[in-house]
Chains A and B, each alone.
Chain A
Amino acid sequence: MTNRGQRPELRGQNVRPRFTIHHSRFTLAALTLILAPIVSEAQGTFVIRGGTVVPVTGPRIPNGTVVLQNGRITAVGASVQAPAGATEINATGMFVYPGLINAGTSMGLTEMGGVPGPVDTREIGDFNPQNIATSAVNVGSEHIGVTRANGITSVITVQGGSVLSGLAGFINLAGYTNEEMIAKEKVALLLSWPSAGGGGGRGRGGGRGFAIGGAPGVDPMVAYQNNVRQIYRWFAEAKAYGDVKDRLTANGAKPPVGWHQNLRYDAMVPAVRGEMPIMVDANTVTQMRDVIRFMDSLKVKVIIHGASEGWQFVDTLAARRIPVILDGVTGVPGNDDPYDLIYANPGVLQKAGVQLAFATGGASSARDLPYEVGLSIAYGMDAEEGLKAMTINAARMFGVDRDFGSIEVGKVANVIVTTGDPIDIRSQIKEVFVKGRRMQFDDRHTKLYEQYRARPKPPNK
């Protein structure tokens, strides 16, 4: 076991506990125990002792204790009394972190490349704000267990393909059904900002936007402006629709005959009113600048997803306090870019004070989340901020930080026990708790490994 990669300034630091026992809440959650146990989960009361507790939102607690009861964290501290009958988890020499959060993956919406049956990541058409990602999460997806086994306990699950692709959801990576997995069904409206120039551009920029009517021979800037105008139009219409609907249905009134409900606009109304963030794919400076204009003019909340040219726009992103989700730190920069441009971009943003989270995009690579953060740290990001980026920041961006993103009393018991820093590839994940359930490492990969590791030597070999 190694402590390499730990923040040296925190190593061995003596920290007074800030948390006290608090476990009278959530007795209702005990009802969930009625569920028949399934192989991978056991819910009960757990006391994790002896490890260094890394709450993320507070100082580290050497030799700390965390109590998980009825699906919540009920006590955290240096001297904590264990409730009677609790299962002891010995974390001596290990670390206790909150479960990691991947802020953008098609988890549950895709299974394997080249096999179209399970792929629900795209819809036909540009205007699909009404589609709810969590509705199609396949609870049987093998990616769920594989990702969880690497310490990622929740993800923002996203679809794409349209200009407005629908609503992202926040799910826990455990449950008997997808409904059970959902922590918050609708956390953000997904918007893919148009790209000017139809591909190309610096870094990963350019190619990821959309182009309505991007016909050959059309001036790319004209096409871009038309596409942006279309987005404004949709939002204006959704706003008008919401206002009219409110008036028509005020005081419980039924709307008049002849009035038509529009599910697309309905889905947009919370975002239009600034009550739900809009997660906008935007990578180039042009895109990000126009996203901020859009934000200002419509008074909406945005999270920028991508920001591969964030380093060129860092002052504005920081000054305007725009949260950013980085995606694809393992990408390749443009041909005339510095070799470390993508690795160093997160550090530039972080040092300027931009709130960051990380996404992996695909489902099969979702477990690599901490390694992408590690790479960012190697090229300049602050390590403590890197930890926040894969925990509390993601929870805050999507409005679920009351329940997720740190080890604090009252939060959902998504907790991992590791032999080292999660960003250190050599660290082992020893325990994963999701909603207070102790998960077995029975994912597809671990099972195949154990099955074949136990294979007897074939005769004559």
Chain B
Amino acid sequence: MHMNFMRHAFVLAVTAVSLNAQQATPAAQASGALDPLALPAPAAGSLVAITNANIMTASHGNIMSGTILIRNGKIAEIGTNVTVPAGAQVIDGRGKWVTPGIIDAHSHSANEGINEGSQSVTAEVRMEDVLRQDGISLYRQLAGGTTTVNILHGSANTIGGQNAIIKLRFGLPADSIKFAGAPPGIKFALGENVRRTSNAQSTRYPRSRQGVEDLLRESFIGAQEYQREWDAFNTARAAWDKAPARSRGAAPIPPRKDLEKDALVEIMQGKRLVYWHSYRADEILMALRVSKEFGFKPNFTHILEGYKLADELAAAGATASTFADMWGYKLEAWDAIPHNAALMAERGVNVTINSDSDERARRLYQEAAKAMRFGGASEETALRMITLNAAIQMGIDKMTGSIDVGKDADIAIFSGHPFAPASRVDLTLIDGRVFFDRNTAPTLEWLMQLMRNRPRITSEDGGAR
């Protein structure tokens, strides 16, 4: 019913870049429709400055009343002594708190499909093939300061599909939301979901945790054998190429291309990150063994019992992405505790707090604060759990995740301290461009004003007395 109004407003939200904006009136919001697709990339030499803000860098402490200068979408200067060049667009950060754009290490947003669960191994399936950039949920996550999300395949099968890391450039064409340069990954899953616990009729192998372990090993060994066939072929082909044309006979026949095995080979070559969906301590230890056996670094998601084996995780260099305080929603979540994140971090594990939900992705800053409440994480540790640590897990920490010179200007600006109860996000920037601005966003207050001013229709009005 309000779709037209909302459209206009969203268009403005991504285009107006209301720097130092006065509160826009609803009338002004509704009038200036612009084409969101026309939003230009940050022009060469474009300058944005966030001034006098309390900056939480996530990498090197807080800078009170500091300035961030953004040039061409990258962070160019940070500090209390930054000179704002003439012509820079200035965002007045007085009284506000600035954090790196929040990174959600586990999401199923922007998807047309989440699971290809027909087989236990679907390593060839790609989330990037089913991305959609226009889901309103992306905008709402922006409104919670989230800028980058890891779109993972679901957990219906042991070896799931390939992930897609995106930036929430809501309003831009689909091919512009992918995070350029992010390393490819894949979802693996363990436990109740892949055992098809809630489906007694399922005859898909495996139906036990032992079977899951076996399937993993069989799959990797199959991929090794596949790789050896290719190696042998490549050697033979190279020799054949060099051999004199008259005497070399028929060219060697290449092995059949197998997209599923290609992905597994990439894992063993360190070119593709594995995100293990995991719950119980025993299965996490199994995943550590399998990862070691086939020579790749393990990254975990959920990992609700990670606190039971934090030392083993730290020793293996594993990363862990978990919920803040979800528990009890199934048997394997029964030993989940809200102290999980803080305890793993205390023992030296790289820990992130993720959403796995379009709802929690709107307030990950609150979820991170729970690591302070439960387990006593420091403020900086808690902040890293939704920024830098997530970037490290996803292999994008050279580009984003903290407020450091040279990184993408992915930034959330809060009305107060991000962990304080009455704070909310005022502005969210990606690559130095404002993608969410509460001043121009269609809010409930704005909608109520519109409805108050709408022409009254008597028949519709008849009910409420």
B binding-site residues for A, Cβ under 8 Å: 1-3, 6, 136-137, 139-140, 143, 192, 197-198, 307-308, 310-312, 314-315, 325-331, 333-335, 337-339, 343, 346, 358-360, 362-363, 366, 369-370, 372-375, 415-417, 419-424, 441-448, 451, 463-464
Shortest Cβ distance from residue A309 to the other chain B in the assembled complex, whole angstroms: 11
Q: Is the CB of B369 within 8 A of A364?
A: no
Residue of B nearest to A143 (CB): B328
A421 to B308, CA, bound (A): 31
A234 CA to B338 CA, complexed, in Å: 45
Digitize A308-350: 1 where CB-to-B-CB distance is under 8 Å, 0 elsewhere. Answer: 0001110010000000000000111101111111011100100
Bound Cα distance A330, B329 (Å) = 17
For the complex, give the distance between the alpha carbons of A421 and B334 in Å.
29
Please indicate the chain A residues that have their CB under 8 angstroms from the CB of B369 in the complex: 425-426
Q: How far is the CB of A290 from chain B (nearest CB, A)?
A: 9
Q: A114 and B421 in contact (CB under 8 A), knowing A289-B464, A336-B1, A348-B448?
A: no
Q: List 7 A-B contacts (CB under 8 A).
A: A4-B421, A5-B421, A336-B3, A336-B6, A338-B442, A344-B444, A445-B337
Known contacts A428-B373, A457-B311; is A449 also within 8 Å of B140 by CB? Answer: no
A362 to chain B, nearest CB (A): 9
* A interface bracket (residues with beta carbon within 8 Å of B): 35 or more
| Bound: A295/B353 CA distance, A | 46
Query: Is B140's CB under 8 angstroms from A332's CB?
Result: yes
Given known contacts A426-B419, A449-B375, is B334 in contact with A458 (CB within 8 Å)?
no
On chain A, the residues within 8 Å of B311 by CB distance are: 455, 457-458, 461
Interface of A (DSSP majority class): loop
Instruction: Name the B residues within 8 Å of A371 (CB-CB).
Output: 366, 421
What separation, in Å, do the CA atoms of A332 and B140 have in the docked complex? 9
When A and B form their complex, what is the total count of cross-chain residue pairs whose Cβ atoms lie within 8 Å?
160
Q: Write out the residue numbers on chain B whose beta carbons fall within 8 Å of the beta carbon of A5.
A: 420-422
Name the residue of chain B whose CB is nearest to the CB of A421: B421
Distance in angstroms from B370 CB to nearest chain A CB is 6
Contact present for A425 and B421 (CB under 8 Å): yes
Return the chain A residue nearest B316 by Cβ. A461
Q: Cβ of A379 < 8 Å from any Cβ of B?
A: yes
Shortest CB-to-CB span from B129 to chain A, Å, is 24
Interface of B is mostly: loop
Give min CB distance, B78 to chain A, whole Å.
24
- Shortest CB-to-CB span from B440 to chain A, Å, is 12
Let me know if B337 and A449 touch, CB within 8 A. Answer: yes
Q: How far is the CA of A343 from the CA of B140 in the complex (A)?
A: 12
Residues of B within 8 Å of A421, CB to CB, are 421
Report the minimal beta-carbon distance from B457 to chain A, rounded to whole angstroms: 15
In contact, A339 and B448 (Cβ under 8 angstroms): no
On whether A461 and B6 interact (CB within 8 A), knowing A112-B328, A332-B137, the answer reads no
**Residues of chain A with a CB closer than 8 A to B312's CB:** 458, 461
Q: Are B421 and A424 in contact (CB under 8 A)?
A: yes
Given contacts A448-B335, A449-B307, A457-B311, whether A336 and B2 have CB atoms under 8 Å apart is yes
Min CB distance B386 to A, Å, is 13
A338 interface neighbour in B333, B421, B443, Cβ under 8 Å: B443
CB closest chain-A residue, reference B436: A339
B419 touches A452 (CB 8 A): no
- Smallest Cβ distance from A304 to chain B, in angstroms? 15
Q: Is the CB of A375 within 8 A of B444?
A: no
